[in-house]
Structure 1
Amino acid sequence: MKCVIPGTNARVFAKAIQSMAKIGSELFVEADDDGLSIRTVSATKSAFAMIRFEPNFFNDYNIESDTEDDFANKCKVSMKACIGVFKNMKQVELCKIHIDSAHSKLIVQLKCRLETIRTHSISILDFETLQAVYMTDNVPNVLSSSHKLFSEISNNFQMNEEEITLEAGADSLTVKNYVEGSHVDRKFMRSQLALKAEEFDKYRIDEETSITFCLREFRALLGFAESINIDLMVHFERAGRPVVFTLNNLHTFEANLVMSTLSPDDIEPCNQSIQNRSRNDMGKRICDTSEVTSLSEGTAFKRAKPNFSETSSVDEVLFNFPPRNESESVDIVRGNTQANIETQLSVPTVPKPRESTHADLENKESEGICVTFKDTEELNEVDSVPKSPTVVVRQKKARAVFKRCFEATFNPKNITGASQILAPNSDTED
């Protein structure tokens, strides 16, 4: 197989490979009479992408149909190697692709500006092809619109969203994010977008249904549609059946993305768990508080005691609330004077420590409070703080080496010639 792609179409071919690199890690190349097809499949086998370039897309397109070598027109190569070849295509004026089955190489030659030629040799992993069985003719539900509308739908969801749900009705379409019920928490944000049928170029819904598919592969195909400014079509049936996204440029190329959808058995339990979780959140906010009665003599104030039996079982596991005993409620008897009311409602202050007298001990014994005494030796053992370890001051090594430098041993009289006057002192200024 040999083909020559002009510069403008070579950039479209590079965009196609870059979009397919977001779906699979291997690229299947196959040439036949209908054109050159590149295919890939995701690691989980849940998405299949195929882009077929017709012979009109090339300046020169030749296949070896008379040879007995079946490996001359198809191969499988690494997607990572192809990305490195078709990464920068701004200065490319011509692209030549050739399958060398004798040496198991895919040769890509790029002719750039200023007569610069770059030749890349990609190792062939295997001589095989990839096929998928799907149809788009007799499906009951079809949507068609420009890539701008689908881009606005995609931008309403966060980049870390994995799956979205399409609920197709007779007159409207609802798009919302999907998450498994076990992963729902209070911080999770639910996004939902409603679209009318008039916003689409073609809106045909014969069977109202709801499908859930992966958002990552859809964004990969949508990026390719934005780069070439082409409309997007969606063909789907019901939940559990594949959904097909189609890009069709007449007499040039055609792109199809086939994705699996969740079955109804997987969707219903998740929706029920979401509803149960919302009910638990409503019941969690309910707690019992004691009513404050009138302040009369002998009235007892009790602490507000929440009823933890109303909370959900999930919160009990997460926070591990300990059971509260009835003995924790403290009754405080106060008088009915205004001074006692202000004392009860004011901010508590830390009392100053004072020595206990014999009268205070008698009052505490009369109130039923047990007072225990400890020996002073035990208190000293508890309150004593260990001393910090002593730091051993070591003499610095530099101080020891240059010790004699700091001694007052310099005497100018011992220097020869120090007493000789070479020049008299200058006259002092009057």
Structure 2
Amino acid sequence: MNCIVPAQNMKILSKAINALAKVGDEIYLEADEEKLTFTTLNMSKTVCSQCSFMKSFFSSYFVETKDSPGSAASTTCKLFMKSVLPLFKGNLEKKLEFLKVEYEKESDFILLKMKYKYDQIMMIHKLRLMDSETLSVGITPNSGVNNLCGNSSLFTQILSMFNLSDSEITLEIMNSRLVARNFYVGGATNPKLMRVEVKLSAGEFLIFDVKNNTNINFALRPLRTVISFAENFNLPIGLNFDSGGKPLTFLMKHPTFNLHFIVSTLNPNRDLQSSMASTSLPASTQRNNNLHISIEDQQALANENWDEFDLQNNQNNSFISMMNRASSTRSDVDGVVAVEKPNTLKKMNSLNLDDPHLKTNGDQYRDDADVISQSSDSPRDKRMKLIFSRCYEPTIVEPDLGKVYVGNSDSE
């Protein structure tokens, strides 16, 4: 392969390679008798970009034919994008006189010879090739039934309505209008996202041929790259698609070259139904039932010895029942039931509160409003009383009442 790019076409070649560099890290070169094609693919294989330069784009173009009869003349090789991109920075159309590309079959290198206008300088770049591979894209740019075409200024105005942080765009295409949104109806909402919706009529496009109404969702980054390239050369942008979930193609055509991006899309309606069907209501209900107990309390309940707790409650209940039988026996002897309750309270207040048998339940005999029934406790109440047991402990000690620790500072 031997071709020469004149200085007036260096800007087109430079912008095309920089646009391809925003998609993939590897660039494929394929040359036949009619055109030279650059192709790249991103890592996730969701965006494919291809730029073809016709034979008329070059001042000199020659490709060696194959020896076997009946086979098309084609030369393929693959390069690292990082090795090619630094050579096409700056205003090369003002510096270079021409660029010559030389490649021989079965070679491990490709030569790029740059002839500068001043001082007759010839700079030769020798780039090592990667493993020889051929990238075939099974999707043609005009495979869809729907076709849209508009000026680059129209798409620039649409893109200016959206934020730089927006990563996706949803298009709702109907027979008479197009609606562009940065969200899809019924999807998950982001409270920090400013919703944008732009409505365009069919008359604002150069071509508006829609056979089937559809909704498509795709990434905004390839569209930004396409608009940036089209603005430099005032090219119209065409959209070719079928329906949501099938590839979308951005087309830019010129008599000497063409560039197209093939982007994968999503169907918002289908994705919404699948996400709603996967929602589990029992899981959310189970999660809400545990909101009133903290993680520390749950760990404490799991590590607690409930057998010892039940044994302690049984001892306290037997002591209280014994005291109740003693008070009932005394009331039967005296024959007066109404007078026995205050006498019983006096006797309970005279007990020693330091007794370990009464330390837990000493507050039950001080006030009838604080009495907690021991016989009708459920397991849940027992756990709660164990956790909040310190809430029922006395906060005032009677011997400390009336004791003066610091005297009055005033003499009066």
Q: Which residue of 1 aligns with 2:87?
A: 85
1:128-139 to 2 correspondence within 5 Å? Answer: 128-137=133-142, 139=144
For the residue of structure 2 that corresponds to 1:14, the secondary structure is helix
Indicate conservation of the 8 Å contact 1:23/1:40, yes or no.
Answer: yes
Residues 1:262 and 2:281 aligned together: no
For the residue of structure 2 that corresponds to 1:10, the secondary structure is helix
Give the Cα–Cα distance (whole angstroms) in 1 for the partners of residues 240 and 107 of structure 2: 42
Q: Which residue of 2 aligns with 1:36?
A: 36
246, 251, 275: which one pairs with 2:251? Answer: 246
- Residue type matched to 1:39 in 2? T
Q: Which residue of 1 aligns with 2:115?
A: 111
Shift of 1:268: 2.6
Q: Which residue of 2 aligns with 1:152?
A: 157
Go from structure 1 to structure 2 and tell me whether the alpha carbon gap of 1:138 and 1:38 turns closer, same or farther (over 3 Å shift).
Answer: closer
- Residue type matched to 1:5 in 2? V
Give the Cα–Cα distance (whole angstroms) in 2 for the partners of residues 73 and 118 of structure 1: 24
Task: Count how many residue pairs are aligned between Structure 1 and Structure 2.
Answer: 299
Indicate conservation of the 8 Å contact 2:143/2:240, yes or no.
Answer: no
Go from structure 1 to structure 2 and tell me whether the alpha carbon gap of 1:192 and 1:54 turns closer, same or farther (over 3 Å shift).
Answer: same
Shift of 1:122: 1.3
Go from structure 1 to structure 2 and tell me whether the alpha carbon gap of 1:177 and 1:57 turns closer, same or farther (over 3 Å shift).
Answer: same
1:29-428 to 2 correspondence within 5 Å? Answer: 29-67=29-67, 73-90=75-92, 91-114=95-118, 115-137=120-142, 139-178=144-183, 184-250=189-255, 252-263=256-267, 266-269=270-273, 322=292, 372-373=395-396
Indicate conservation of the 8 Å contact 2:66/2:73, yes or no.
Answer: no
Go from structure 1 to structure 2 and tell me whether the alpha carbon gap of 1:136 and 1:23 turns closer, same or farther (over 3 Å shift).
Answer: closer
Shift of 1:271: 8.1
Please state which structure has a larger fraction of its residues in helix: 2
For the residue of structure 2 that corresponds to 1:132, the secondary structure is coil
Indicate conservation of the 8 Å contact 1:164/1:213, yes or no.
Answer: yes
Give the Cα–Cα distance (whole angstroms) in 2 for the partners of residues 6 and 119 of structure 1: 16
Give the Cα–Cα distance (whole angstroms) in 1 for the partners of residues 276 and 162 of structure 2: 23
- Residue type matched to 1:268 in 2? L
Q: Which residue of 1 aligns with 2:354?
A: none
Give the Cα–Cα distance (whole angstroms) in 1 for the partners of residues 268 and 163 of structure 2: 25
- Residue type matched to 1:19 in 2? A
TM-score (norm. length: structure 2): 0.64
Q: For structure 1, list consecutive stretches of 5 or more residues without a partner in the other structure.
A: 277-312, 324-364, 378-430
Go from structure 1 to structure 2 and tell me whether the alpha carbon gap of 1:372 and 1:159 turns closer, same or farther (over 3 Å shift).
Answer: closer
Give the Cα–Cα distance (whole angstroms) in 2 for the partners of residues 151 and 89 of structure 1: 24
Indicate conservation of the 8 Å contact 1:23/1:220, yes or no.
Answer: no
Q: Describe the superposition over 1:265-284 as per-residue Cα deviations: whole angstroms up to 9, x where unpaired.
A: 743337869xx9xxxxxxxx
For the residue of structure 2 that corresponds to 1:36, the secondary structure is strand
Q: Describe the superposition over 1:343-401 as per-residue Cα deviations: whole angstroms up to 9, x where unpaired.
A: xxxxxxxxxxxxxxxxxxxxxx9998997336999xxxxxxxxxxxxxxxxxxxxxxxx
TM-score (norm. length: structure 1): 0.61
Go from structure 1 to structure 2 and tell me whether the alpha carbon gap of 1:79 and 1:136 turns closer, same or farther (over 3 Å shift).
Answer: closer
Shift of 1:221: 2.0
- Residue type matched to 1:123 in 2? R
Give the Cα–Cα distance (whole angstroms) in 2 for the partners of residues 198 and 181 of structure 1: 29
- Residue type matched to 1:373 in 2? I
Indicate conservation of the 8 Å contact 1:241/1:260, yes or no.
Answer: yes
Shift of 1:197: 1.1
- Residue type matched to 1:88 in 2? G
Indicate conservation of the 8 Å contact 2:101/2:110, yes or no.
Answer: yes
Indicate conservation of the 8 Å contact 1:167/1:210, yes or no.
Answer: yes
- Residue type matched to 1:109 in 2? K
Q: For structure 2, list consecutive stretches of 5 or more residues without a partner in the other structure.
A: 294-365, 371-392, 401-412
Indicate conservation of the 8 Å contact 1:163/1:179, yes or no.
Answer: no
Indicate conservation of the 8 Å contact 1:100/1:107, yes or no.
Answer: no
